[in-house]
Chains A and B, each alone.
Chain A
Amino acid sequence: MGLTVDYELKETILLARLNGELDHHTASELKESWQLALQQPGIKHMVLNLESLSFMDSSGLGVILGRYKELKAEGREMVVCSLTPAVDRLFQLSGLFKIIRFEENERYALETFGVVLS
């Protein structure tokens, strides 16, 4: 099963789509590739799409909050979109809903950064 990540650049926004299972095992690989992707020049903010995440536990909360804090320290923003009910529940439980901005879908999340898809 595992986890795959697609990174895409939409103007100055990094779009990351997670696919599969995010646990302690896959979180460490994700952290590495995510930090690398954010180092590409010209990236301002980012959108994290969780639509195809079939499993997540507290390790996922940790790795997402970790990147959120790194971005925030540099004055950059992260928006999370397309939560499944199970993932939504974990964000509710942990109180992350009060910290991170969530949007319903990818198109709308990108639009809030001024990226309009044709």
Chain B
Amino acid sequence: MNTNMMRFSFSSQSRNEAFARVTVASFVSQLDPTMDELTEIKTVVSEAVTNSIIHGYNSDPDQMITIICTLSDDEVELIIQDEGVGIPDVDEAMEPLYTSKPDLERSGMGFTIMENFMDHVYVHSTEGEGTTVTMNKQFNRSKAMSQ
């Protein structure tokens, strides 16, 4: 099995959201995903990074977010980490339409989108220490099998 990995960190500023999703998408392009799969990857990166900025760091622009992306065969693993406030109740946070910030025009769809677009989403969070979101996705199952 061939494994290829990359890791990068950036300031918790909203202008970096586009940078983060485009960077991950261009790394993942090595696996020859479909356009739809690339859109899914960009969207989930955007969701997790936005959550770290808004919720994890309460929009403090001077913190850091780290992304680790691992490709093995036709599978991608994405890890998005912050050292922010953490989530007191992960099960509640992952429920569709749950948001702790309705005043900021959030609608509680971020985790629902991540779970729909990826095969697996795992959230590890400790209050006062931060949040790590780990997501996996296998590309083009049928294409890979017919090779």
What is the interface of chain A, defined by CB distance below 8 A to chain B?
1-2, 21, 23-25, 27-28, 31, 55, 57-59, 61-63, 65-66, 85-86, 90, 93-94
Q: Which of A21, A24, A55 contacts B54 (CB 8 A)?
A: A24
Task: Let me know if B112 and A93 touch, CB within 8 A.
Answer: yes
Whether, in the assembled complex, B58 has its beta carbon less than 8 Å from a beta carbon of chain A, the answer is no
Given contacts A24-B54, A93-B116, contact A62 B107 (CB under 8 A): yes
For the complex, what is the distance from the CA of A65 to the CA of B43, rounded to whole Å? 19
Q: Which of B36, B50, B112 contacts A59 (CB 8 A)?
A: B50
What is the interface of chain B, defined by CB distance below 8 A to chain A?
14-15, 17-18, 21, 36, 39, 42-43, 46-47, 50, 53-54, 104-107, 109-110, 112-113, 116
Task: Let me know if B43 and A57 touch, CB within 8 A.
Answer: yes
Q: How far is the CB of A42 from chain B (nearest CB, A)?
A: 27
Which chain B positions have C-beta within 8 A of A62? 104-107
Output the residue of B42, B46, B110 with the most chain A CB within 10 A: B46
Task: Let me know if A31 and B113 touch, CB within 8 A.
Answer: no
Q: Which of A23, A85, A93 contacts B113 (CB 8 A)?
A: A93
Which chain A positions have C-beta within 8 A of B15? 25
Which chain A positions have C-beta within 8 A of B106? 58, 62
